[in-house]
Amino acid sequence: MSTAELEHSRFGGTTVKILFASQAIDGHFNPMTGVAMRLKDRGHEVAWYTGPVYADRLGGMGIQHFPFRRAIEHRADNLNELYPERAKLKGPRAIGFDGEKIFASNVSHFFEDIREVAQQNPFDVLVADSSMFIHRLVSHLMGKPVVNFVAIPNMESDPQVPPLFFGFRPPRNPVEKAVQGLAGLLSDKVILRPASQSYRRQHAAYGQAVPREGRLTDEPYRCSDAIIQTGPESLDFPRRRVNPKVHYVGALLPYRSPGPAAPGFSGSDGDGGFPRSYPATLVVTQGTVDNLDQDKLIVPSLEAVKDMDALVIVATGGHGTEELKARYAQPNVVVRDYVDFAEVFDFTDVFITNGGFGGVQLSLSKGVPLVVSGINEGKSDVNARVENAGVGINLRTESPKSADIAAAVRKVLEDPGWKSRARTMQEQFDREDPAEAAAAVVEAAGTRPTA
């Protein structure tokens, strides 16, 4: 009997029809792919509702794709094209704008598309990207079990957890607690107010009343049967209230089809791979969303470490690669469009990043400590968790100085405590197979009797 048949029999031969739904953003889509393929391999029927940009990826995975029809396809590379005014916004105004335009405004469009998909392809359970905010409508109006998939840090409010978007660590004294309380009011009543109003209006149109207590970001947690939370619990802040529906599953990696790596990945473009003759290896990236202005992190990082006795590997995300190669021609500097992080983190000593949650998790799952510097797109909250867990140095700025990066890198390299704490967290990541744990959550929800 094959592995898929064994797993299928384990659930009494029940085939679950599963619809995944995600934003058309790599950081939300990619972590879900490994889970989808694990469920598919276990004999379940898997389909996916997302933007047209992923048609080929899903086709290659053998997963039926239902593209956005009414919903706007928000991608990392088209946000400023769709909303030219967005490029001029910073701080709370940028957060509020994204909350309303990119996340809240699409809710009813997502729901109508999914309701149409259900007519063509009935499903038993929906696995929904937390940032789509469709959980209440699908659960209450369609009567379908919903699994909330959270590819970012746990956003559920709690008396002990700082408010979102400010990069706070848990308060250590009454003054910090008072400051964070005021910041929470600012977040709820000002920054996220347009998004909350839009969300409520759309639900009112369907006769759905949204509770006044809690925050908008609590909604996917309230209205789901189960929550797949990426990352280990030790990377989250301590909580007073433990939500039994939340399952921390570790670092969920994108699905990789068998075969050689794509061109531009490590060791696949004919250069024989990376030189391994240096005493240390540093990896630098500015992520996949905010990577156009390389003067924010990539350039100051290269200026900081180019003359160190270390191999420096830079992943540009496909922007300005050739220019950086020409500018930094040192033999110890390797610049690539993309890097197979799962491979290079096996021999990396420090990861310099703006704080994308997926990259942070992958780094820690390999026991690699970090130097983090980023604020936008919720990265300040990721980086605060890195700092709080003692597994990296948080520079707490969007545009760090080279001297500060160099000092942080040297501190991590010279103090073995950083590596030790990262390896302790690696052991926590290694305790279970993340895709297996997440698949089990979906199966349980999909086979649970409904009223």
Residues 406 and 438 in one domain: no
In a domain, 271, yes or no: no
Q: Are 326 and 297 in contact (CB under 8 A)?
A: no
Residues 199 and 84 in one domain: yes
- C-alpha–C-alpha distance, residues 316 and 36, integer Å: 28
Residues 198 and 101 in one domain: yes
For position 288, what pLDDT does the model report?
67
**Into how many domains does the chain fold?**
2
In a domain, 443, yes or no: yes
Q: Which two tokens stand for residue 187?
A: 């977040």
For position 84, what pLDDT does the model report?
93
Domain of residue 385, residue span:
281-427
Q: Are 198 and 106 in contact (CB under 8 A)?
A: no
Residues 308 and 223 in one domain: no
For position 259, what pLDDT does the model report?
59
Residues 236 and 119 in one domain: yes
In a domain, 84, yes or no: yes
Residues 226 and 294 in one domain: no
In a domain, 333, yes or no: yes
For position 269, what pLDDT does the model report?
40
Average pLDDT score over the chain: 90
Residues 249 and 151 in one domain: yes
For position 326, what pLDDT does the model report?
95
For position 165, what pLDDT does the model report?
87
Residues 215 and 303 in one domain: no
In a domain, 386, yes or no: yes
In a domain, 261, yes or no: no
List the one residue out of 136, 106, 84, 115 whose CA is nearest residue 28: 106
Q: Are 68 and 51 in contact (CB under 8 A)?
A: yes
In a domain, 265, yes or no: no
Residues 206 and 348 in one domain: no
- C-alpha–C-alpha distance, residues 298 and 433, integer Å: 33
Residues 143 and 178 in one domain: yes
Residues 205 and 288 in one domain: no
For position 87, what pLDDT does the model report?
84
Q: Quote the DSSP letter at residue 320.
A: S
For position 237, what pLDDT does the model report?
95
Residues 123 and 164 in one domain: yes
In a domain, 323, yes or no: yes
Q: pLDDT tens for the chain, 451 residues: list them.
A: 344 444 444 445 678 999 999 999 999 999 999 999 999 999 999 999 999 999 999 999 999 999 999 999 999 889 889 999 988 888 788 889 999 999 999 999 999 999 999 999 999 999 999 999 999 999 999 999 999 999 999 999 999 999 988 999 999 999 999 999 999 999 888 999 999 999 999 999 999 999 988 889 999 999 999 999 999 999 999 999 999 999 999 999 899 877 555 444 444 443 447 888 899 999 999 976 666 789 899 999 999 999 999 999 999 988 889 999 999 999 999 999 989 998 999 999 999 999 999 999 999 999 999 999 988 878 999 999 999 999 999 999 989 999 999 999 999 999 999 999 999 999 999 888 999 999 999 999 988 665 4
What is the CATH classification number for the domain harbouring 33? 3.40.50.2000
Using alpha carbons, list the distances in angstroms from residue 197 to 91, 103, 107, 224.
20, 12, 12, 21
What global pTM score does this model have? 0.90
Using alpha carbons, list the distances in angstroms from residue 368 to 77, 104, 166, 365.
29, 36, 25, 8
